[in-house]
Structure 1
Amino acid sequence: MYANDDLSSDYLAGQNGPLLMGYLFSYLLQGVLTVQMFIFCNQPSYSSDRYPIRVTVWTVFCLEIVATAFATVSAWYGLASGWGNIYTLNHPSWAFAYTPALHGIIALVVQLFFCWRLTLFGCNLIVPGIIASSCLMQSSLAIVTAVKLWYLPDLSAIYDIIPFVSVWLGGSAFCDIMIAISMVYLLHRAGRQSQFKATYSILLRPIMISVETGIITACSSIMHLVLFLAVRADNAHFTFLFLTAKLYSNTLLTTLNVRRIRSENRPVSTFQGHNKSTTAHQKSSSAWETELDRLQSSRINGRTPTAVFITTSTSTHKDEEVGLPDAKIPTSV
């Protein structure tokens, strides 16, 4: 047992409890991420995805595997091999010190991917450029935090690096909020500019997904920062250290899988003559990706998107006594 009698059970729970919860959440979300990755790779249209999308997804997944391995090393050192040693409370393993840098890199990859999506949806380069600069800043500060954490004499001196941690977590939350606001604005504008009234109701789903994913990751970073600054009696903020990066990767896969599922469920329209062209157009425009692709292609060509309405009209004769014209009645011999 611990040699120091002053170390009560409440103190030990406050020191090791948040770390234990962080390790458990890390394993839980890694399992969810693995399922999401399986769904993403087993879609029929996986091979037709853009190269940057596949590179981003596999990069994030590999980094998350490394992050989970680091969490395993840290958990084994603090809760297994080092249990009962007072030294392990204030001197965590080397894997624990490298965790902020790794998580900052994962957040950077995901945020830059969403910046790239903003440009595809018609956003000018100013807003994505500002967001990308903030992403690079927060990732750099995360790496600096990891270096500072490595050279600290013990964890009791962690509050000496408050400026670095504050800029890292605050910058990450700022990027998430800006990405969510920009995505909602672009989708809302696409719905309002469309000539089809049903387009805006279709776009409500991706709008809600953008808001939810941005709020989840931003709230995690904000809670991490608030607990780090306000609660200094225990290690409560370390729970979010292992949680936030997993949230970034899962929101990335969730966004892509929702897009792909809607695309797979889109009905295939067939044109069988001019009389069915209206029905076929209504089926093909049931997915919001079709509308965004149409807007994007028209933006590249420098033209305003136009709409073609096809209407059909039928006329009936009111005289009930008029028979079928030119009717050929077969006669039997």
Structure 2
Amino acid sequence: MGEFDLVIGVVLVGIFLNTYLYGLVTYQFIVYYNTKFNDRLWIKGVVGVLFFLDTIHSGVAVYAAYNMCVTNYMNPASLAFVSWEIPFTACATSLAAFVTQGFLGHRVLVLTKSIPLVSLIAVLSFLGLFFGFYAGIYSGMLDAVAKFGPLGPFVTCWLSFQTSADLVITASLAIALSRARTGFRRTDTIINRIIRGAVQTGLFVSVFALGDLFSFMLHRNTNLYAMFAYPIGRIYTNTLLDTLNARTSLKALSNATEDVSVSAFRMQPTSTAISSVHVAKDVISDFSDTQVADAKFVRDDSSV
């Protein structure tokens, strides 16, 4: 292993992965706006804010690579100091997590109607945001990597609260959707697909957050944590955009059968009544017309 593999090499790997994920974010962003979902303005605003934040952060990551490998080429002493890109990454990542968790927390509220559960998610998410900004700003104030010792508890709080919010959201969505199973094979297939997607994305971002935490705590003399830290924000945005864009494929799948109707994520009141279908009281009330499909599934009572 080379002298700088765990100092510069791992940072470059993280930036390469971040750039790849930003490409996926850009693709999903284009798909979202070209599909013309009838989403509320605040939903489109969330998507726009996250894409803007991802664009800025990805540009900062590329600049960090340039600064490290070109500007400070043959100047290894610069690696001992904290450049502004590191505090910015912590703040940008925690903000992306907070916005995404807020959106998914709203979905949990609509599906479960549980104020205590959503309050728990909100508290965990806010604490993750607070400690993320605190850790980022504090790291810039410390200036030298050798002084990162006192930063440990704040990074632990940041990533622990952030990961806890992700896991609570994932578990809540999985349980709520599993209870919506109707007994119809194709209906349950759609529900299982949504559950699998929620679990996969929740675990994926949790793995990166925990990798960031353990790398920072156990390998202080390396930059291994950066390999996990840079891509986390893109994973959150991909999660949200994939959730929104998946409604098209779910709608197509639901149309393939006559015994299932998908009550969509409605961003505005629907103008189309679905005959012979009893819509459960806990169907999502914030989602739009029958063009979108991704939330609560109801069984056709007249067919029983």
Query: In the alignment, which residue of structure 2 is the partner of 1:211?
Result: 199
Query: In the alignment, which residue of structure 1 is the partner of 2:137?
Result: 147
Q: Percent of pairs identical after alignment? A: 22
- Counterparts of 1:167 and 1:94 in 2: how far apart (Å)? 22
- How far did 1:117 drift? 0.6
Residue of 15, 35, 42 corresponding to 2:7: 15
Query: In the alignment, which residue of structure 1 is the partner of 2:165?
Result: 175
* 8 Å contact kept, 2:138–2:151: yes
Residue of 68, 72, 82 corresponding to 1:78: 68
Query: In the alignment, which residue of structure 2 is the partner of 1:247?
Result: 235
Distance 1:293 1:209, change over 3 A: farther
Query: In the alignment, which residue of structure 2 is the partner of 1:116?
Result: 106
- Counterparts of 1:293 and 1:150 in 2: how far apart (Å)? 57
* 8 Å contact kept, 2:83–2:140: no
Distance 1:310 1:16, change over 3 A: closer
Q: Mapping of 1:93-132 within 5 angstroms?
A: 93-132=83-122
3-state SS of paired residue (2:73): coil
Query: In the alignment, which residue of structure 2 is the partner of 1:330?
Result: none
Unaligned runs of 5+ residues in structure 2 are 266-273, 286-297
Q: Mapping of 1:131-280 within 5 angstroms?
A: 131-191=121-181, 194=182, 198-264=186-252, 266-267=254-255
- Counterparts of 1:293 and 1:88 in 2: how far apart (Å)? 66
Q: TM-score, normalised by structure 1?
A: 0.77
- How far did 1:198 drift? 4.9
1:294 and 2:279 are equivalent in the alignment: yes
* 8 Å contact kept, 2:98–2:129: yes
RMSD: 2.6
Amino acid in structure 1 at the alignment position of 2:188: Y
Distance 1:87 1:298, change over 3 A: closer
Unaligned runs of 5+ residues in structure 1 are 1-8, 269-281, 312-333
Q: TM-score, normalised by structure 2?
A: 0.84
Query: In the alignment, which residue of structure 1 is the partner of 2:58?
Result: 68
- Counterparts of 1:299 and 1:116 in 2: how far apart (Å)? 10
Residue of 15, 31, 34 corresponding to 1:39: 31
* 8 Å contact kept, 2:90–2:135: yes
Query: In the alignment, which residue of structure 2 is the partner of 1:314?
Result: none
- Counterparts of 1:189 and 1:260 in 2: how far apart (Å)? 23
